[in-house]
Amino acid sequence: MSEASFLAWLNSLVPKLIARNIYKKIKWPNGFICPYCGKDHHYKIACHYLYEYTQCKKQTSITAGTLFHGSKITLIQ
């Protein structure tokens, strides 16, 4: 990968990460707590941007329950 293409990739990635962090803070202002079991223990499934609760094994995402859920519109558009 050339330096120019790496910088272009990095410049496209940074706004996505910032947008995800902003939406995460808006959706879960008091931290990430499971709506099913009430626990805050979870881990992130990186390849799908999913969070799975360690107690009940339910999965959710930042876009679940929002207008972005199932949409092809990205968080930064």
Is there a domain that residue 16 lies in? Answer: yes
Is there a domain that residue 10 lies in? Answer: yes
Q: Is 53 exposed, middle or buried (0-12, 13-18, 19+ CB in 10 A)?
A: buried
Q: How many domains are there within the chain?
A: 1
Is there a domain that residue 73 lies in? Answer: no
Is there a domain that residue 22 lies in? Answer: yes
Range of the domain at 10: 3-61
Is there a domain that residue 74 lies in? Answer: no
How many C-beta atoms surround the C-beta of residue 51 within 10 A? 19
Is there a domain that residue 77 lies in? Answer: no
Is there a domain that residue 48 lies in? Answer: yes
pLDDT per residue as tens, the chain (77 positions)? 787 787 777 677 778 788 888 888 888 898 888 888 888 887 788 766 788 888 888 888 888 888 777 777 666 65
pTM for the full predicted model: 0.61
Q: Are 39 and 54 in contact (CB under 8 A)?
A: yes
